[in-house]
Amino acid sequence: MREGFIFNHYKCVSCKACSAACILENGWAISPRNIYTYNSEAESSLHLINLALACNHCESAVCMVGCPSSAYKRDPVTGAIILDEIKCIGCRYCQWNCPYDAPKYDHEKKTITKCNLCYNGLKTGRQPACSSACPTGALRFGQLSLQKSYTYYSWFPGKNLDPAIEFSANQGFNPLRIIPENINKTEITKPVRKEKRISEELSLILFSFLSIVSVATVISSFFRGVFPERTVFFPVIVLAALASFFHLGKPVRSWRSVANFKHSPLSREIVFLIIYITLCAIILFFQLPGLLIAASVAGLCLLLAIDSVYIFADKKKSVTLHSGQAFLSALLIASFFSGIILPFIFIALVKLAASVYSLIIKRMSPNFEIRFLRMAFLIVTGIRLISHNPFPDLITISIFLTGEFFDRMLFYIDFDPVNINTLIDRQLNIERDEKKRG
Amino acid sequence: MEEFITACPRNCYSTCSFRVQVEDNRIRRILPYSENLATPEGPCIKGLSYLERTYSPDRIIHPLIKSSGKFKEININEALDIISYKLGAIREKYGSQSIFWYKGSGMSGLTNEIGYSFWKAFGGTTTTYGNLCWPAGLEAVRLTLGSVKHNVPWDLENANTIIIWGKNPAETNIQEIAFIASAKEKGCRIIVIDPLRTPTADKADILFCPKPGTDGALALAIAHVLIAKGMIDHEFINNHVKGFDELKKSLHISPHNAELITGIPSKNIIELAEIIGSKGPLTIIPGYGLQRHRNGGQTIRSILLLSVLTGNIGKPGSGFNYANLQTYVFDDIKEPLSYYPDNENDMPFRKSISMAKLGSDMLSMLNPELKAAWIERGNPILQ
């Protein structure tokens, strides 16, 4: 039999004793246990419940699989997923992969803090601090029934990960009946939406865009039968590497990030980055055609690895068909620099179609200006390229690369890994719309 | 690791029992003490915070003296010298009752009232009578039932209808939610009466929102419906109730009248009355805010009337959970009379300042006038 958390939302009053007990037991600055309130603004037509959630110690622990430095491991006795903070490089990749928002980034320590199930105490028979402290018995720890009752909330994410949690309340799903009917009515007309802050992703946008440009330069020089301009391709990839290096919470531990090559796409990305940079450095001194081919292949592997980092985390497939994919963008930029018109037009049309798809079909309306400019810049580049000479002038290059940078930015704006925070709000919006329609 | 069993001494409904684990002479953990059936799951976040609070660098553990607007730390012996010199000088010149002793509730441990012995030995003082908290309701329950008692907290599980009237246990008495939830699991109807949609209201089936201060009218209208529809416990009334006929004659407030006062539609008042009259056992849990209005005591009596009329007193699942002074085992059953001035002058104490009229009563003291105030366990300027 498997042990796990058993939660009753009817008994939860959002008192946060579980969070406090967790901090007191483990001496952390932040609590990995959060209390989420569904319908926190008490919209009258909907029910209101609280959910106290932390790590659910999944059978398929995506945090552990994705971790580049192998900082996570499963405790063989308790089954708990434990983070070894000494190994954590602070890349925050697990925060994208976990749908429960269980790994928390400690800005002081610059590493992740995550529930460890108080596993040392558990081995001696002591309950986890959170469930033991719950004053109403809403949060318990014990034997899970074989019935998978986490299907309970239709919107509960990560069911395929087999989380060790189940829910036991069967009350509180009806909207509260209020008398007199016209009093204390709260109607929230604006949809609840948490705005994504793109500034936090800036170093990643920079890293991936510069990698794309560098690899494209190397490939195009191969097609043009010349060696790449030394002042471009190498400084650009070094800059990219620095951007990714310093976005880590613990840059000095970055060497650990190759530890999980076997499972983690992020680990593979870093390995290919290292190979690519090494080959580029050699090309600086030895201009052998074989090296150029090797660097092109390594570069393409790097870009595929970059794309797979996002595809792995993107459980909702929000960017699978995105025009800002690294591999696709590199091919476009390479054909642009090579002056090969036909592939350029073909890839540009694919990218335009994907952009239109994002805008219209998926209704990704925020940042409309950037989306519009991005498409306009690509069309202008195409027209200039066809009507002028094969090798582009400086203005066309600037317009084109700005457009591609916008595209990469949009990739991060649209990238939307499954996360309980946004999911709760979305479900609320859906249910409210359903109620309004009757 | 040593373990001690103790309790949370705050002025709170729950007064949780808990276990304290001590390691290297330092509190390591605060854990639930499940033997206390009222709080088996342990304290809330305030109880857990003792751990932090005890060792907080912000905790004041040395005397402070205020000079030119700033607090300065001083030695305890120095502090005692200053205090004893000043108190002694005032006593010599004006008499001991020129010193006013104000006390709030503070922590409710056994040392809570230790100041009495000091002031007695000092030769007396002027102090307060009355209380801003719950005495109106205590007196209301005592006048109606004879004593202020109710069923054990976990008896809520036996109720078929629970009315939480002007109380918000989800925030003020968290441990009670466990029993409400158990009752709810067994099919109990949860009704909250409160002008606000509190977190407790979100545990309810129905929330009634009367206008603030109109709870008495609502209760009397419900009583009116209960009697008119004959939904009362005749046997209980015949055996235990005095003055039922007089009550019946004087009960004029109809649901229609009450609608104008409370804002609750008359059809819903009748609906509520029908639930109260037919879906027993019924437990009513009134809060303390209701009785901090004009006629507050009578409001509590009107609500208690509903339990009495339907015979929901003294049976499993039938309670009127206002206050349970049975738990005041160390208080020498002084409540609620201890809140009133003694009939005879309680020398050496002069209990003549009403808590409710603190400022004006302090100024009106003569022979002797007040020359100094000793304030402990409270903050009268803000409270």
CB < 8 Å to A14, chain B: 199
Q: How far apart are CA B35 and CA A13, in angstroms?
A: 23
Taking the CB of residue B338, how many other CB atoms lie within 10 A of it? 13
Domain holding B37: CATH number? 2.20.25
Mean pLDDT (whole number) for B296-325: 95
CA distance A172 to chain B (A): 7
Q: Is residue B264 part of a domain?
A: yes
Measured in whole angstroms, how far is the alpha carbon of residue B11 from the centre of its chain?
A: 8
Q: Is the dihedral of CA A26, A27, A28, A30 positive or negative?
A: positive
Note down pLDDT in tens along chain A; length 438 residues.
Answer: 789 999 999 999 999 999 999 999 999 999 999 999 999 888 888 899 999 999 999 999 999 999 999 999 999 999 999 999 999 999 999 999 999 999 999 999 999 999 999 999 999 999 999 999 999 999 999 998 866 655 578 888 888 899 999 998 888 888 899 999 877 677 776 666 666 667 778 899 999 999 999 999 999 988 888 888 877 888 899 999 999 898 899 999 989 999 999 999 999 999 999 999 999 999 988 888 889 899 999 999 999 999 999 999 987 777 778 888 999 999 999 998 888 888 888 999 999 998 888 777 666 567 778 888 888 898 888 888 777 665 568 888 899 999 999 999 989 988 888 889 888 888 888 888 888 887
Is residue B178 domain-resident? yes
A126 class by beta-carbon count within 10 Å (0-12 exposed, 13-18 middle, 19+ buried): middle
B6-19 pLDDT tens trace: 999 888 999 999 99
Contact across the interface for A177 and B205, Cβ inside 8 Å? yes
B144 and B258 part of one domain: yes
Q: Do B264 and A180 touch (CB under 8 A)?
A: yes
Q: Which residues of A touch B204 (CB under 8 A)?
A: 176
Write down the pLDDT at residue A184.
66
**CB within 8 Å: B171 and A13:** yes
A322 backbone dihedrals φ, ψ, rounded to 5°: -80, 145
pLDDT tens readout for residues A49-86: 999 999 999 999 999 999 999 999 999 999 999 999 99
Is the predicted pLDDT of residue B27 greater than 90, yes or no? yes
Interface of B with A in 267-296 (CB under 8 A): 268
| Cβ neighbour number for residue A309 with a 10 Å cutoff | 24
Per-residue pLDDT reduced to its tens digit, B342-383: 545 566 888 889 988 999 999 999 989 999 999 998 899 887
Q: Are residues B75 and B171 in the same domain?
A: no
CATH number of residue B142's parent domain: 3.40.228.10
What residue type is assigned to position A335 of the chain? S
Nearest residue to A92 via CA among A69, A111, A107: A111
- B228 and B305 belong to one structural domain: yes
Predicted local distance difference test score (pLDDT) of residue B336: 44
In-domain check, residue B335: no
- Nearest Cα of chain B lies from the Cα of A166 at a distance, in angstroms, of 17
- Whether the pLDDT of residue B339 is over 80: the answer is no
Tell me which of A206-210, A422-426, B141-145, B233-237 is least confident: A422-426
pLDDT score, position A389:
61
Dist CA A125 CA A135 (whole Å):
20
> Within an 8 Å CB–CB cutoff, is residue B51 touching chain A?
yes
Distance from CA of A252 to the nearest CA of B (A): 34
Per the DSSP assignment, residues forming a β-bridge with A140 are A6
Give the total number of structural domains in chain B.
3
For residue A21, give every residue at least 6 positions away whose Cβ sits within 8 Å of its Cβ, in sequence order, or none: A129, A130, A132, A133, B48
Nearest Cβ partner for B42 among A133, A171, A172: A133
**pLDDT of the residue at A75:** 95
Determine, for residues B197 and A24 on separate chains, whether the beta-carbon distance falls below 8 Å: no
Residue B334 lies in a domain: no
Looking at the fold, whether B139 and B205 belong to one and the same domain comes out as yes
Q: Which among B39, B45, B178 has the least Cβ separation from residue A20?
A: B45
Structural domain includes residue B332 = no
The mean pLDDT value for B112-131 works out to 86
Place of tokens 């999911």: A423
Supply A325's token pair.
């994919």
Report pLDDT for B342.
53
Is a pLDDT exceeding 90 seen at residue B5?
A: yes
- Residue B155: the pLDDT is 97
- What structural domains and CATH numbers belong to chain A? 3-183 (3.30.70.20), 198-414 (1.20.1630)
Q: How far apart are CA A348 and CA A356, in angstroms?
A: 12
The predicted pLDDT at position A148 comes to 61
CA-to-CA distance for A31 and A16, rounded, in angstroms?
10
Res. B274: pLDDT tops 70:
yes
Contact criterion met (CB < 8 Å) for B199 and A21: no
Same-domain pairing of B163 and B304: yes
Tell me: do B316 and B362 sit in the same domain. Answer: no
Residues of A in contact with B196 (CB under 8 A): 184
The reply to whether B188 touches chain A by the CB within 8 Å rule is no
Cβ pair A178:B264 closer than 8 A? no
A-chain residues near B184 (CB < 8 A):
10, 171
List Cβ neighbours of B345 (8 Å cut-off, separation of 6 or more). Answer: none
To the nearest 10°, the Cα dihedral for B315, B318, B323, B324? Answer: 30
Q: Which domain holds residue B208?
A: 135-326
Element (H, E) at B173: none
